Structure 1
């Protein structure tokens, strides 16, 4: 994966803002909801949510609150990397957790393995679409994506290597804290890259 895979963010002042801002908001809300669907499938969540599960077990608070708090904490690592947040970065911190908690309150874990597997598949697919929508709006990366691209620029290492390193570190911390991984964690890791790349082709707003 190359840096060019991520559309360069542009100022929120300017052309096509009437499309970009609603697309950003839709993408962020859908991203938070898709995380909740994967959690309700109870077959394994993405590595960051394994960490959020572990933090919740030890310190309480809701999953969405931990999504917000960890997003804000990751922004602190942007300072030495000289990354600049955009309106999409701030929106990511504020919206993802709220959308996740709202969806968790509306959706229950279905009975039966086939229904749970279907819910997991829908969650992963929607997460890929949400990634394409919010990154394609070109209003700034999320805290975790910005950490990855910032480390890439500072170290010269490939995005693939850095992303894998971050995800494995977060997963290990989450497991140590008592979070749970499963087949859904593996499927997410395998599918999210191709899905995001596919949806970015359709969702990136032209300059």
Structure 2
């Protein structure tokens, strides 16, 4: 009778599903922390670029931009506040936040506000289009960096995966339903919708999928379960 093949290490092209303590014990901690922080800061920068392009925002940011029309807070503060509201929705879904989840909830908003403070709104249309496109592309890279660091999902991504797991619906269906819901809510509050919203919806999935393999950090302390 043939013996089972030995357990092998995960390759650099695989993502592990780890709890907070396992994330810290998985190895390559300095590299992963730096990549996580860079990814989250760039995510906030990408949000700021799209705001200054003034041609539409990502679906969740349509909601954030609507909220600040009625509450005296900055856009970044709205991002942070909504992150923690979404994390409350994790509780009935039994999702477990990781280190990256909590840092995501804070750093993206802080980075977005810093970017908006440093960057003026563009006037020529060509500059606005450039900011919009740069924001979408940078968001794809930032997403790949923070996911590839293997420190857990962001609040909104975790809501999506938790709902998909609980309902049995596909991730694509759940994501579409969530994004339509937040866009409609944002529009009702006076949020910003435009060509950038459509470009983001169409491009962010393929962009992050294209960039993710090169950004996944191999975890030497985690073996394949097979």
Could you say which TM-score interval applies, normalised by the shorter chain? over 0.9
Tell me the residue number matched to 1:55: 67
Q: Residues 77-156 of structure 1 correspond to what in structure 2 (within 5 A)?
A: 77-156=89-168
Q: Does 1:188 align with 2:196?
A: no
TM-score w.r.t. the length of structure 2 is: 0.87
Q: Aligned in 2, Cα 1:91/1:6: closer, same or farther, shift over 3 Å?
A: farther
CA distance in 2, matches of 1:140, 1:146: 9
Matched positions, count: 203
Which deviations, in whole Å up to 9, do the C-alpha atoms of 1:61-95 show, x marking residues without a partner? 00000000000000001001110000000000110
Q: 1:8 aligns with which of 3, 13, 16?
A: 16
State the 1:6 CA deviation. Answer: 8.7
**Aligned residues of 1:9 and 1:141 also touching (Cα < 8 A):** no
Distance in 1, Cα, partners of 2:168 & 2:161 = 10
Q: Is the 8 A contact 1:29 1:99 kept in 2?
A: yes
* Contact kept in structure 2, 1:51 and 1:171, CA below 8 Å: yes
CA deviation map 1:18-46 (0-9, x unaligned): 21110000000000110010010000001
1:131-154 CA distances to partner (integer Å, 9 max, x unpaired)?
000011110100000001111111
List structure 1 runs of 4+ shifted beyond 2 angstroms.
Answer: 5-10
Report the alpha carbon displacement of residue 166 of structure 1 after superposing the two structures with TM: 0.4
Q: Tell me if 1:41 matches 2:53.
A: yes
Q: Deviations over 1:115-143 (max 9, x none)?
A: 11011111111000000000111101000
- Cα distance in 2 for partners of 1:9, 1:18 equals 19
| 5+ residue gaps, structure 1 | none
Q: RMSD in angstroms over aligned alpha carbons?
A: 1.3
Instruction: Answer 1 or 2: which has greater helix percent.
Output: 1
